């Protein structure tokens, strides 16, 4: 307590400088963290796209009239349309199944969660990194009393692997009767899963993924029936999907099939998506990284300078402390503590932000779209802190130790 | 002259008696100045704009009296190497529109043709380019805008435009342009009311103006409906706001380092009091203190600008947010002037707070 | 008891070596009131700084209550300064922006005295110097004499065995100087050894023993 008082006294010599510095450092570090997280996410989705997709992959978008879909009395009109087209596609030799993405909203522990339904091929195509468990365990059970699922997001942090939880199908904001779910795996950060809700003239890899705070189910008739029994409008199928071309088909067969796809959908090839994704990554790195780096340089320099300033301002007082029985070691500790405080506040706030972001996002309190915060972010923040604060403390101590108390007395005399 | 000598002697004394603090202050000013120079080129719309080809390569002209397509396609301006995408449009009248659209609150549809580049044509369904055969044979094939899909037309179906039946071969991402092969358009012989073209790279303001003059020399009654000039004007109008934001960031950055200058001022308090004792007016002492900090900041800011200029090609150009950003002498002059003025403004609160005490109060403070 | 033997302290002035203390030996018994006199540059402050463990001699021995001070590490000498020695300087050496009670409690920030005890001891020390009603004022709001009293209160707050004063009345008028010296005499009566460095013969006359230093050597000791 006494030492803390002396450290506060160290900083009180120039209160406004300390406040400006702490505030600026915290803000700039936060901007840098969010920018790096955003760029890392774009890079991550590009890498995942390249890793898990072959060059004969196509991203197809169904063009439909939203009004027509809204007014339809069918449960899932988009799925019906896609199924109809897929049946026609099956006549082509180069046809491969459409990998569709379906989702529904459920309620878990009083909070709305999103749930994805993937078929087996989708799960095999995208075996994303799990922090716990295994994709192998995600299987179709023989009865509909318990369904296996992989959890995603901080919502299920407290749930042990293998536990059975209850989720309710959401109908008009109310949770209907429970579906028992056994958690067989937990997705690792950034909790990003195949989510084909976006299309456009230019498609990049990040369009094909979305953050999920919820559950991933394996598609089965039992599951669909269970959900439909509660609410026939619960399940939505995305109008966009992934498909490939049979590699063994002849060139002519492949061309014919591609023409069929293009006649029915807006089609983007693997090469187009990869090219645009690479351009986007380059652009993001080029456009977004320099400014936070510049700001971080300025503020780190300011921290370094302020440490020297504070030491110089407090040197006389420490000569008095020395006279009153404070050892040099203790004085150095007070000086180091004061300088560290200037940077540590910002660092701690940022580390806490990065650590708790997923929880805040799961609660709906904070949502920065498409960012990647994980242990690497904490490591980067720690490294920046170590370098900037470490250098400031070192420089401050060098200045402090250069002036012995007796020299200060002589100067005063 | 005497005042300048005094100021430089004070600066030298500050350096001599507080080497580390002085060096840190100077380095801080240098870093802030380099950052300001960098941010100027990478955030000012008028600097970024010319580097982004996609914003400044589009022209659109209206022909008030309509032109013949056969005459247009013979003009050099449309066949020059500078142009990589050109579209000629005829505004469809109610009678020429497909019957399905007659009761729709539809936008003004256009029938178009030309030379389309892949960079500006995006496939929604089917094909978005005509085969050589389709063009050579002047076939009645058509590419529709995607919004037209609202009327549930599919690829392979027919549609009636200008009293002729066309086979739909695809949908593009545009919203009101129905596109047919060039020879088909020649066959229909509708008057061309407008033309859009894309150049293969972005044009500077001067080059854009030259291009428009060249176009108008061929077509006197043409009016410009869109050109890069508007983008440049819009960028220029945003410059003051961005410059204001940059100035605020610069002042906050410099303020962090001004505490070092204030520390050096405090150390030379004895000298300042002596000036007052020997008869210098308070205003003069304030001027000396302001000048002292401003001179140091100015010197290192100019040094930073020089470093940026000398190392621009080898280093700074590689870290720009866009690859085509350039700096000219006017930019460097503007940056330098701004930095000098802003540093003066930032110094004022520090100097004023220092001088607000009376002479006696300062003397007592000094003797502590 | 303070005992120094054959102390030598030198400083380099360019190429020459300046002897601030040249083979000084001295013994001060408990309870003595000693004045060390000499002209400017004689070595009195250097001797006081060594006695106060602020500085070390180049050679010689220094025993404080039978402890060989020069053999101790910095943390141990800090403890000595905290518990056994009280310092009073010409410029008062107070933290001017802080209150009087903070200044008096300062030595207790560096030992194990609990917070509540700190206030009690500080009040006691301020009462001894007659400033108990000034404790909430900032040090820079006091007169020179009051500041010196605060410095004395700080010096005695941990019940030291010796108080070292370097020109304690140098910045004060004669009347205030008189009152300060009376205060030192009172402290000495309570058993505290007081060593005062001064160039003022009148101030030295308050003390029972006078030692004169010239050119780093003791040339006169009234005890001998």
Residue A247, pLDDT score = 87
Tokens of A221: 């008739």
- Do A227 and A266 lie in a common domain? yes
Q: How far is residue A409's CA from residue A251's CA, in Å, rounded to a whole number? A: 91
**DSSP of C39-64:** -TTSSHHHHHHHHTTSS--SEEEEEE
| Residues in chain A, total | 413
Interface residues from chain B to A (CB-CB < 8 Å): 18, 20-21, 24-25, 27-28, 31-32, 35, 38-39, 42-43, 122-127, 146, 149-150, 152, 154-156, 170-171, 173, 249, 252-253, 255-257, 259-260, 263, 319-322
**Ordered per-residue pLDDT tens for chain C, 224 residues:** 899 999 999 888 788 888 889 999 999 999 999 999 988 888 888 898 899 888 889 999 999 988 999 998 888 888 888 889 998 887 777 888 788 998 898 888 888 888 888 999 999 999 999 999 998 998 888 998 899 999 999 999 999 999 999 898 888 888 888 999 999 999 999 999 999 999 888 889 999 999 999 989 999 888 86
- Do A376 and A302 lie in a common domain? yes
Residue B106, pLDDT score = 56
- Do A198 and A319 lie in a common domain? no
DSSP state of A370: S
Give the contacts of B145 (CB within 8 A, at least 6 positions apart).
Answer: B171, B172, B173, B174, B175, B176, B177, B178
Residue B368, pLDDT score = 46
Asked if C107 is an interface residue toward chain A (Cβ–Cβ < 8 A), one would say yes
Q: Would you say residue A257 has pLDDT above 50? A: yes
Considering only residues 195 to 214 of chain A, which have any Cβ-Cβ distance to chain B shorter than 8 Å? Answer: 201-202
Alpha carbon of C7: minimum distance to chain A alpha carbons (Å) = 18
Tokens of C84: 């056994």
pLDDT tens digits along A49-82:
999 988 999 999 987 777 777 777 777 888 888 9
Contact of C50 with C57, CB cutoff 8 Å: yes
| DSSP three-state, residue B354 | helix
Q: In 3D, which of A14, A4, A35 has the Cα closest to residue A295?
A: A35
Number of H helices, E strands in chain B: 13, 10
CA B301 from chain centre, in angstroms, equals 25
Asked if C139 is an interface residue toward chain A (Cβ–Cβ < 8 A), one would say no
Q: Specify the pTM.
A: 0.81
**DSSP of B196-265:** EEEESS---HHHHHHHHHHHHHH-TTEEEEE-HHHHHHHHHHHHHHHHHHHHHHHHHHHHHHHHHHHHHH
Asked if C94 is an interface residue toward chain A (Cβ–Cβ < 8 A), one would say yes
- Do A7 and A106 lie in a common domain? no
Q: What is the mean pLDDT of residues B318-333?
A: 88
Give the strand order in the sheet containing A240-244: A240-244, A57-62, A265-269
Q: Count CB-CB contacts under 10 A for residue A31.
A: 14
Confidence of residue A358 (pLDDT cuts 50, 70, 90): confident
- Residue A327 vs residue C75, higher pLDDT: A327
The partner residue sitting opposite A65, judged by closest CB among B42, B150, B260, is: B150
Chain B residues in contact with A201 by the CB 8 A cut-off are 122, 173
What value of ipTM does the predicted structure carry?
A: 0.80
pLDDT tens digits along A145-154:
889 999 998 8
Contact of C121 with C197, CB cutoff 8 Å: no
- Do A171 and A189 lie in a common domain? yes
| DSSP three-state, residue A150 | strand
- Do A153 and A237 lie in a common domain? yes
Domain endpoint, select from A240, A255, A280: A280
A59: left (phi over 0), alpha (psi -120 to 50) or beta: beta
Q: Are strands C33-37 and C209-214 parallel, antiparallel or unpaired?
A: parallel
Domain endpoint, select from A236, A252, A280: A280
Q: How far is residue B342's CA from residue B251's CA, in Å, rounded to a whole number? A: 6
- Do A12 and A157 lie in a common domain? no
Contact assignment for C95 to A322 by CB distance below 8 Å: no
- Do A162 and A226 lie in a common domain? yes
B35: left (phi over 0), alpha (psi -120 to 50) or beta: alpha
- Do A310 and A255 lie in a common domain? no
Chain B residues in contact with A298 by the CB 8 A cut-off are 31-32, 35, 253, 256
Residue A268, pLDDT score = 92
Q: Which residue has the tokens 């869109």?
A: B226
- Residue A264 vs residue B107, higher pLDDT: A264
Tokens of B174: 């545009």
| DSSP three-state, residue C101 | helix
Tokens of C43: 């070595």
Q: In 3D, which of C2, C1, C4, C3 has the Cα closest to residue C59?
A: C4
The partner residue sitting opposite A320, judged by closest CB among C52, C80, C95, is: C95
- Residue A107 vs residue A363, higher pLDDT: A107
Residue B354, pLDDT score = 65
Give the contacts of C116 (CB within 8 A, at least 6 positions apart).
Answer: none
Q: Would you say residue B210 has pLDDT above 50? A: yes
Burial class, A144, CB count within 10 angstroms (exposed 0-12 / middle 13-18 / buried 19+): middle
Alpha carbon of C137: minimum distance to chain B alpha carbons (Å) = 16
Give the total number of structural domains in chain A.
Answer: 2
DSSP state of C129: T
Q: Closest chain C residue to B361 measured between Cα atoms?
A: C140
Instruction: Report the b/e string of A104-132 with b at 16+ CB within 10 A.
Output: bbbbbeeeebbbbbbbebbbebbebebee
Q: What is the mean pLDDT of residues B135-163?
A: 85
Residue B302, pLDDT score = 93
Contact assignment for A287 to B35 by CB distance below 8 Å: no
Considering only residues 250 to 309 of chain A, which have any Cβ-Cβ distance to chain B shorter than 8 Å? Answer: 262-267, 286-288, 290-291, 294-295, 297-299, 301-302, 304-306, 308-309
Q: How far is residue B238's CA from residue B46's CA, in Å, rounded to a whole number? A: 8
- Name A162's bridge partners: none
Instruction: Report the b/e string of A331-343 with b at 16+ CB within 10 A.
Output: bbbbbbbbbbbbb
Q: Give the mutation candidate from A322, A325, A410 for the C interface (greatest C CB count, under 10 A).
A: A325
- Do A237 and A299 lie in a common domain? no
- Do A65 and A137 lie in a common domain? yes
Q: How far is residue A189's CA from residue B185's CA, in Å, rounded to a whole number? A: 56
The partner residue sitting opposite A406, judged by closest CB among C49, C83, C115, is: C49
Q: In 3D, which of A224, A253, A222 has the Cα closest to residue A89?
A: A253
Q: In 3D, which of B258, B290, B354 has the Cα closest to residue A20?
A: B258
Tokens of C94: 């107070």
pLDDT tens digits along A118-149:
989 999 989 999 999 999 988 887 666 889 99
Asked if C109 is an interface residue toward chain A (Cβ–Cβ < 8 A), one would say yes
Domain endpoint, select from A249, A280, A311: A280
pLDDT tens digits along B240-282:
999 998 998 898 888 888 888 888 887 777 777 777 666 667 7
Contact assignment for B152 to A65 by CB distance below 8 Å: yes
Mean pLDDT for all residues in chain B: 85
Contact of B149 with B173, CB cutoff 8 Å: no
Q: Give the mutation candidate from B156, B259, B304 for the A interface (greatest A CB count, under 10 A).
A: B259
Confidence of residue A29 (pLDDT cuts 50, 70, 90): very high
- Residue A380 vs residue B117, higher pLDDT: A380
For the ranges A269-273, A409-413, C127-131, C161-165, which has the lowest average pLDDT? A409-413
Q: Would you say residue A113 has pLDDT above 50? A: yes
Tokens of A230: 């509660």
Contact of B172 with B146, CB cutoff 8 Å: yes
- Residue A144 vs residue B11, higher pLDDT: B11
Asked if A325 is an interface residue toward chain C (Cβ–Cβ < 8 A), one would say yes
Q: Closest chain A residue to B24 measured between Cα atoms?
A: A305
Q: What is the mean pLDDT of residues A361-386?
A: 87
Q: What is the torsion angle, in degrees rounded to the nearest 10, for the CA atoms of residue B229, residue B231, residue B232 and residue B234?
A: 120
Tokens of A332: 């150095």
Chain C residues in contact with B364 by the CB 8 A cut-off are 140
Alpha carbon of A335: minimum distance to chain C alpha carbons (Å) = 15
Asked whether the CA dihedral B290, B293, B295, B299 is positive or negative, the reply is: negative
Asked if A409 is an interface residue toward chain C (Cβ–Cβ < 8 A), one would say yes
Q: How far is residue A2's CA from residue A321's CA, in Å, rounded to a whole number? A: 13
| DSSP three-state, residue C31 | coil
- Do A222 and A273 lie in a common domain? yes
Q: Would you say residue B309 has pLDDT above 60? A: yes
pLDDT above 90 covers a percentage of chain B that reads 34
* Domain interval for residue A142: 52-280
| Residues in chain B, total | 368
């Amino acid at each position: 307590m006494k030492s803390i008082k002396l450290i506060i006294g160290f900083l009180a010599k120039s209160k406004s400088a300390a406040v400006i510095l702490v505030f600026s450092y915290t803000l700039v570090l936060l901007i840098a963290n969010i920018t790096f997280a955003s760029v890392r996410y774009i890079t991550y989705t590009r890498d995942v796209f390249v890793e898990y997709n072959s060059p004969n992959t196509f991203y197809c978008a169904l063009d439909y009239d939203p009004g027509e879909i809204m007014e339809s009395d069918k449960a899932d009109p988009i799925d019906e349309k896609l199924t109809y087209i897929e049946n026609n596609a099956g006549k082509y030799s180069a046809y491969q199944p459409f990998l569709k993405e379906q989702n529904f909203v459920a309620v878990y522990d009083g909070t709305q969660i999103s749930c994805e339904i993937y078929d087996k091929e989708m799960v095999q195509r995208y075996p994303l990194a799990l922090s716990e468990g295994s994709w192998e365990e995600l299987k179709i059970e023989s009865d509909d009393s318990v369904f296996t699922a992989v959890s995603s997001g901080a919502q299920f942090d407290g749930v042990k692997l293998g536990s059975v939880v209850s989720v309710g199908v959401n109908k008009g904001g109310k949770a209907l009767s429970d579906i028992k779910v056994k958690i067989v795996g937990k997705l690792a950060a950034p909790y990003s899963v195949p989510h084909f809700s976006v299309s456009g003239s230019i498609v990049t890899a990040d369009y094909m993924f979305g953050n999920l705070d919820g559950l991933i189910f394996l598609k089965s008739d039992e599951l669909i029936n269970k959900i439909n029994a509660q609410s026939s409008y619960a399940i939505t199928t995305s109008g966009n999907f992934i498909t490939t071309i049979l590699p063994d088909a002849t060139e002519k067969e492949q061309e014919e099939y591609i023409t069929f796809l293009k006649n029915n959908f807006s089609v983007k090839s693997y090469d187009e998506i990869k090219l645009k994704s690479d351009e986007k990554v380059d652009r993001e790195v080029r456009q977004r990284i320099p400014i936070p780096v510049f700001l971080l340089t300025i503020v780190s320099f300011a921290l370094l300078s302020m440490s020297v300033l504070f030491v110089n301002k407090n040197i006389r007082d420490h000569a008095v402390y020395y006279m009153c029985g404070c050892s040099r070691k203790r004085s150095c500790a007070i000086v180091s503590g004061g300088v560290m405080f200037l940077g540590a506040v910002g660092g701690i706030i940022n580390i806490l932000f990065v650590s708790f972001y997923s929880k805040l996002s799961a609660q709906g309190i904070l949502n920065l779209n498409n960012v990647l915060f994980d242990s690497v972010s904490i490591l980067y923040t720690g490294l920046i802190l170590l370098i900037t604060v470490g250098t400031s403390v070192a420089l401050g101590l060098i200045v402090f130790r250069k002036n012995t108390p007796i020299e200060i007395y002589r100067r005063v005399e | 002259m005497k005042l300048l000598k005094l100021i430089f002697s004070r600066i030298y004394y500050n350096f001599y008696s507080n080497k580390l603090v002085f060096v840190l202050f100077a380095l801080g000013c240098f870093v802030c100045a380099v950052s300001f120079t960098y941010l100027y080129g990478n955030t000012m719309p008028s600097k970024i704009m010319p580097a982004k080809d996609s914003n400044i390569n589009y022209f659109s002209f209206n022909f008030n009296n309509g032109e013949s397509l056969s005459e247009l396609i013979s003009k050099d301006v449309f066949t020059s190497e500078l142009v990589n995408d050109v579209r000629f449009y005829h505004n469809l009248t109610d009678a020429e529109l497909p019957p399905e659209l007659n009761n729709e609150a539809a936008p003004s549809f256009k029938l178009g043709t030309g030379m389309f580049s892949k960079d500006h044509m995006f496939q929604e369904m089917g094909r978005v380019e005509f085969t050589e055969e389709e063009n050579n044979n002047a076939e009645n094939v058509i590419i529709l805008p995607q919004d037209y899909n609202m009327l549930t037309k599919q690829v392979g179906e027919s549609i009636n435009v200008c009293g002729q039946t066309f086979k739909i071969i695809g949908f593009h991402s545009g919203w009101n342009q129905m596109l047919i092969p060039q020879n088909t358009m020649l066959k229909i012989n509708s008057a061309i009311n407008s033309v859009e073209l894309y150049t293969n790279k972005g044009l500077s303001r001067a080059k854009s103006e030259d291009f428009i003059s060249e176009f108008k020399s061929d077509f006197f009654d043409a009016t410009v409906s869109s050109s890069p000039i508007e983008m440049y004007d819009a960028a220029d109008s945003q410059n003051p706001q961005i410059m204001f934001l940059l100035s605020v960031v610069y002042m906050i950055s410099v303020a962090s380092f001004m505490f070092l200058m204030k520390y050096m001022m405090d150390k030379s308090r004895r000298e300042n009091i002596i000036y007052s004792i020997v008869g210098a007016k308070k205003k003069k002492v304030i001027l000396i203190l302001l000048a002292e900090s401003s001179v140091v900041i100015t010197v290192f800011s100019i040094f930073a600008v020089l470093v940026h200029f000398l190392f621009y090609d080898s280093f700074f150009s590689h870290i720009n947010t866009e690859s085509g950003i350039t700096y000219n002498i006017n930019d460097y002059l503007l940056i330098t002037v701004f930095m000098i003025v802003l540093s003066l403004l930032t110094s004022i609160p520090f100097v004023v707070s220092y001088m607000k005490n009376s002479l006696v109060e300062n003397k007592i403070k000094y003797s502590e | 008891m303070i005992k120094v033997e054959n102390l030598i302290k030198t400083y380099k002035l360019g190429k020459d070596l300046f002897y601030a203390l040249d083979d000084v030996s001295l013994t001060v018994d408990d309870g003595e009131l000693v004045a060390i006199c000499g002209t400017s540059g004689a070595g009195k402050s250097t001797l006081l700084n060594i006695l106060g463990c602020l500085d070390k001699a180049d050679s010689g021995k220094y025993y404080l209550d039978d402890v060989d001070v020069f053999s101790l590490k910095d943390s141990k000498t800090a403890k000595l300064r905290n518990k056994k020695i009280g310092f009073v300087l010409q410029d008062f050496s107070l933290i001017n922006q802080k209150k009087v009670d903070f200044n008096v409690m300062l030595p207790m920030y560096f030992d194990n005295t609990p917070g509540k005890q700190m206030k009690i001891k500080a009040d006691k020390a301020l009462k001894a110097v007659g400033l108990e009603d000034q404790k909430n004022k900032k040090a820079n709001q006091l007169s020179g004499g009051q500041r010196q009293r605060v410095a004395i209160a700080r010096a005695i707050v941990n019940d030291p065995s010796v108080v070292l004063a370097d020109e304690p009345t140098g910045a004060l008028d004669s009347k205030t100087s008189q009152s300060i010296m009376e205060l030192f005499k009172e402290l000495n009566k309570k058993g505290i050894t007081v060593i005062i460095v001064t160039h003022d013969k009148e101030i030295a006359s308050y003390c029972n023993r006078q030692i004169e230093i010239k050119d780093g050597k003791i040339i006169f000791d009234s005890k001998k």
